[in-house]
Chain A
């Protein structure tokens, strides 16, 4: 079955960096567009970034552009989110999510369990 498992979260000081990973299994990872979505405590869902199936195209939300970098290693079935210059506003649970196929469309059909990132001194 499809599984997405995030890792790499934790507590980090403002201005520092953190890298999240998302290991995929149960499907052909290299065939799918992948995303990161986050949710601040008590708040709604916020889309963060997307990467094409081959890793050549990436788009970011304005709130993270220039600070976050998305990448993937299709040989390892793993998605990465490098987060630099972190601030308190980046405190959230981060979900990796798979974009649906052409039938499902530009939605998120499978999600990881989420990884908490806390930015605090």
Chain B
């Protein structure tokens, strides 16, 4: 299965914009999904099919895609957004893969 690479950490101040990237050779052909995970909790889906936001997810979360890289953008970051973020995609072989994960720190 293919691999998805994320930066280990991203830091931003409250109110600023955080951008978390996810790179993988298969991404031009496969949708990407994003999850937020806070300590001791199950992950929560925040973006599906590259750019769409599930109901209940704040509008400050958005996704974009360009070539082999997808990006999760959090505009106007709040303290409560501090968490680990994972991208995910599915393979044509029936398997699934998660990105390496990014720890978002709100300074």
- Which residues 33-90 of B sit at the A interface, judged by CB distance below 8 A? 33, 35, 37, 42-45, 48-49, 54, 84, 86, 88-90
Q: How far is the CA of A75 from the CA of B94 in the complex (A)?
A: 25
A2 within 8 A of B: no
B6 to chain A, nearest CB (A): 9
B45 touches which of A95, A107, A112, A114 (Cβ 8 Å)? A107
The answer to whether B31 touches A105, judged by C-beta atoms less than 8 angstroms apart, is yes
Q: How many residues of B contact A (CB 8 A)?
A: 25
A54 to B44, CA, bound (A): 26
Show the binding face of A for B, using Cβ within 8 Å: 35, 37, 44-47, 50, 57, 59-61, 95, 100, 104-109, 111-114
Closest to B42 in A: A111
Using known A-B contacts A45-B101, A59-B94, A100-B48, determine if residue A111 contacts B43 with beta carbons closer than 8 Å: yes
**Which residues does chain A contribute within 8 Å of B10, judged by CB atoms?**
none
